[in-house]
Amino acid sequence: MDVLQILGYLSALLIGIVLGLIGGGGSILTVPILVYLLYINPITATAYSLFVVGTTALVGAIKNLKKGLIDIKTAIVFSIPAFIAVYLTRKYLVPAIPDTLFSLGDFIVTKNIAIMIFFALIMLIAAITMIRDKKKTTTKEEKIKFNYPLILIEGAVVGVLTGIVGAGGGFLIIPALVLFAKLPMKKAVATSLLIIAIKSLIGFIGDIQNLDIEWSFLIIFSSLSVAGIFIGIWLNNFIDGKKLKKGFGWFVLVMGIYIILKESIFK
């Protein structure tokens, strides 16, 4: 095991710590860690990410459920189109993408390169939302009114994105729950974890049928990530996660730019 691989396993802890500290964002690191530190193929990495993200989010969701913070009906309404979309994406869409997409002169755009660049673009969007950090935090209880068409569309879109890049998509889900289901911010964050857990783990089922899964590695990596959540929650007693969120956003922005450059210019 070389230094990068050791860093990869230690970074699994970081994924959970970030999730525990700021309530999101950690999953956006999973694919780069798996690809660049642990040398895992991008297609397999996005599949493993679904399991890691789903398992880690499930632990957080159970904690929130005990506190009464999760709106079950909202989670079900949003999850149904999301998990159908993510399952179909992993089972049929991702395997259907050709290994070679097109070429630009001597530069050949492969399936792996395209997925990493697309993932990097999602990282940039996530980074911008963390850096901007709008302060519209609704805390009062409003009567939940579902905008069903928009929730169904948003759920399907998030499901497809999750299926392609393997990230949780909390930065898309939380605003949708606030805008379309009128949930207060605290409940939206808590409910999003349950949605992320459901759609990620169901999406991973689509991969079990297409890929050879190295279960021993996946369970060890996921366990470290789950342990990181508890460390992050403990650190919350001493560190204000909201203050870290913007700084982490800048880090994700730099990582996204790095991936685009590495996969295109410096390939």
CB proximity list for 56: less than 8 A, separation 6 or greater: 15, 16, 19, 26, 27, 222, 225, 226, 228, 229
- What pTM was computed for the model? 0.81
Tokens for 148?
A: 């069903």
Q: State residue 98's pLDDT score.
A: 92
**pLDDT tens string 112-139:** 899 899 889 988 988 888 788 665 544 4
Q: Do residues 166 and 46 touch, judged by C-beta distance below 8 A? A: yes
CB contact set of 146 (below 8 Å; sequence gap of 6+): 74, 77, 180, 181
Instruction: Decide: helix, strand or coil at residue 216.
Output: helix
Which pLDDT does position 143 carry in this prediction?
A: 60
Contacts of residue 65, defined as CB under 8 A and 6 or more positions apart, other chains included, come to: 194
Listed residue (208, 244, 218, 219) closest to 19, CA to CA: 244
Q: For residue 136, give the 3-state DSSP assignment.
A: coil
Q: What is the pLDDT along the chain (267 residues), one digit of tens a residue?
A: 788 889 999 999 988 888 777 766 667 888 899 999 999 999 899 899 989 988 988 888 888 888 888 889 888 888 899 889 988 998 899 889 999 988 887 888 899 899 899 889 988 988 888 788 665 544 455 565 667 788 888 888 888 988 888 776 777 788 788 887 788 877 888 888 888 888 888 889 888 878 889 999 999 999 999 998 888 878 877 876 667 778 888 888 998 999 999 888 766
Dihedral over alpha carbons 205, 183, 70, 164 (to 10 degrees): 20
Beta-carbon contacts of 89 under 8 Å, excluding residues fewer than 6 positions away, are 159, 160, 162, 163, 164, 203, 206
Contacts of 157 (CB under 8 A, 6+ apart): 85, 172
Count the neighbouring beta carbons within 10 Å of the beta carbon of residue 2: 9
How many CB atoms sit inside 10 A of residue 137's CB? 11
Question: What are 217's two structure tokens?
Answer: 């590695």
